[in-house]
């Protein structure tokens, strides 16, 4: 058993009774886009993640919300990716796990950056799970609630590491890319 897994012993499924403490870092993306009636467009202006969370029954986790930014990830600068990675690393120190809600277009870039940062410091000590959505939570048909549900469950039961959880699939960084034709994440061809 690797050393860093030892820290998760008390959270093993079926053993602990303390709630699992998650930092939920939100950065924007399609999942949080809302409809602007005046302009007739979808934009990242209001935070809808709290509505999404209120629609779920969450008995396994206690969530600390960290609303970091609200951006279409195509508009993220290098400094934005750094800020998210720094925040994820920081939150992993005093939580049992970290979830990052992110636009899908640059999600892989942030995932890789978190992975590199943690690798340079001796590896992850918690599970850090990124997720997003292809259709805004405000739409009738949306993958937003499903994907956040998956990330919040996966972060409790995955081994330490950096992952994307979306569309009922979990993939470990590095080596994850968005397949634009499929509209989901896949393992990069090697």
| HSE-CB for 14 with a 13 A CA cutoff | 0
- Token pair belonging to 164: 């994307």
- Tell which one of 24, 49, 61, 84 touches a second copy (CB under 8 A): 61
Piece in contact with a second copy (CB under 8 A), picked from 82-90, 106-114, 118-126, 132-140: 132-140
- Tell which one of 3, 14, 79, 120 touches a second copy (CB under 8 A): 14
Distance of closest approach, residue 89 Cβ to a second copy, in angstroms: 20
3-state secondary structure of 160: coil
- Tell which one of 59, 79, 94, 120 touches a second copy (CB under 8 A): 59
Q: Does position 87 bind a second copy by CB under 8 A?
A: no
151, 143 in Cβ contact below 8 A?
no
Q: Does position 47 bind a second copy by CB under 8 A?
A: no
- Tell which one of 21, 42, 109, 116 touches a second copy (CB under 8 A): 42
CB closer to a second copy, 68 vs 145:
145
114, 39 in Cβ contact below 8 A?
no
HEC profile of 37-98 = CCCCEEECCCCCHHHHHHCCCCCCEEEEEEEEEEECHHHCCHHHHHHHHHHHHHHHHCCCEE
Piece in contact with a second copy (CB under 8 A), picked from 81-89, 94-102, 115-123, 155-163: 155-163
């Amino acid at each position: 058993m690797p050393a860093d897994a030892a820290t998760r012993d008390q959270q093993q499924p079926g053993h602990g009774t303390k709630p699992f403490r998650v930092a939920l870092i939100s950065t924007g993306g399609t999942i949080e886009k809302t409809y602007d009636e005046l302009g007739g467009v979808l934009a990242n202006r209001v935070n809808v993640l709290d509505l999404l969370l209120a629609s779920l029954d969450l008995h396994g986790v206690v969530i600390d919300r960290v609303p970091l930014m609200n951006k279409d990830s195509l508009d993220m600068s290098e400094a934005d990716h750094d800020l998210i990675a720094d925040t994820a690393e920081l939150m992993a120190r005093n939580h049992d796990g970290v979830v990052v809600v992110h636009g899908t277009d640059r999600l892989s870039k942030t995932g890789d950056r978190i992975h590199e940062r943690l690798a340079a410091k001796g590896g992850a000590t918690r599970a850090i799970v990124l997720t997003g959505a292809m259709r805004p939570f405000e739409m009738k048909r949306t993958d937003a609630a499903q994907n956040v549900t998956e990330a919040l469950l996966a972060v409790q039961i995955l081994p330490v590491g950096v992952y994307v959880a979306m569309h009922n699939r979990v993939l470990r960084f590095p080596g994850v890319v968005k397949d634009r034709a499929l509209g989901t994440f896949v393992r990069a061809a090697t």
